[in-house]
């Protein structure tokens, strides 16, 4: 087999392998659920659910119609990495033509763990800028065209 053929076989086999090696573990998801369900009522709703509902929208997943997330649905989604946080790229926020709507930019900020995201406006560099809360403190937030979220 030539090098070129061997490389093609390697690439093709990687493309069909399932990504289960990277999936969140049941224990990790259970810990995340315990943290998310602050009032221990067995369902995420309202402020408890906001971050996770934003993840559903960002990942183009079917969002629960009633805005409530059961523990069973949460665990299934978590184990399928729907709630996997994406690290921002170096140098973010990056300038560029941004096609996100304000709502889509807000969802990315919520999914990044920010709350009370408001006053988003797109600047001349194509970056959505506004304010939010992070760990109980007011911060400035920026969301670029690639979906990178930066808070300071």
Residues 71 and 115 in one domain: no
Q: Per-residue confidence of the chain (152 residues) as pLDDT tens digits?
A: 444 433 333 333 333 333 344 679 999 999 999 999 999 999 999 999 999 999 999 998 888 989 999 999 999 999 999 999 889 999 999 999 999 999 999 999 999 999 999 999 999 999 999 999 999 999 999 999 999 999 99
Q: What is d(CA 77, CA 29) in angstroms, rounded to the nearest whole number?
A: 9
Statement: the pTM of the whole predicted model exceeds 0.85 = no
Residues 25 and 71 in one domain: yes
Establish if 85 belongs to a structural domain.
no
Establish if 95 belongs to a structural domain.
no
Q: What is d(CA 59, CA 68) in angstroms, rounded to the nearest whole number?
A: 17
What does the pLDDT read at residue 132?
98
Q: Give the total number of structural domains in the chain.
A: 2
Q: Identify whether 93 is preceded by a cis peptide bond (ω within 30 of 0).
A: yes
Residues 26 and 73 in one domain: yes
Residues 106 and 147 in one domain: yes
- Which SS3 state, helix, strand or coil, does residue 125 take? coil
Residues 25 and 64 in one domain: yes
Q: What is d(CA 13, CA 78) in angstroms, rounded to the nearest whole number?
A: 26
Residues 110 and 67 in one domain: no
Establish if 111 belongs to a structural domain.
yes
Question: Using an 8 Å Cβ cutoff, are 78 and 21 in contact?
Answer: no
Question: Using an 8 Å Cβ cutoff, are 110 and 101 in contact?
Answer: no
Residues 108 and 73 in one domain: no
Q: What is d(CA 24, CA 78) in angstroms, rounded to the nearest whole number?
A: 7
Establish if 13 belongs to a structural domain.
no
Please classify residue 52 by burial: count the beta carbons closer than 10 Å to its beta carbon, then call 0-12 exposed, 13-18 middle and 19+ buried.
Answer: buried
DSSP 141: E
Establish if 57 belongs to a structural domain.
yes
Residue 50 domain boundaries: 20-79
């Amino acid at each position: 087999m030539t090098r070129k053929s061997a490389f093609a076989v390697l690439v093709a086999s990687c493309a069909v392998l399932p990504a289960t090696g990277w999936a969140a573990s049941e224990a990790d998801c259970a810990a995340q659920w315990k943290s998310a369900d602050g009032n221990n009522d067995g369902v995420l709703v309202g402020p408890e659910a906001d971050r996770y509902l934003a993840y559903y929208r960002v990942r183009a997943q079917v969002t629960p119609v009633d805005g409530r997330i059961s523990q069973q649905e949460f665990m299934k989604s978590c184990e399928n990495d729907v709630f996997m946080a994406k690290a921002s790229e170096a140098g973010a926020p990056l300038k560029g033509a941004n096609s996100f709507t304000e709502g889509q930019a807000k969802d990315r900020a919520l999914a990044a763990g920010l709350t009370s995201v408001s006053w988003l406006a797109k600047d001349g560099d194509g970056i959505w800028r506004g304010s939010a809360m992070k760990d109980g403190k007011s911060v400035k937030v920026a969301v670029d065209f690639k979906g990178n979220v930066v808070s300071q």
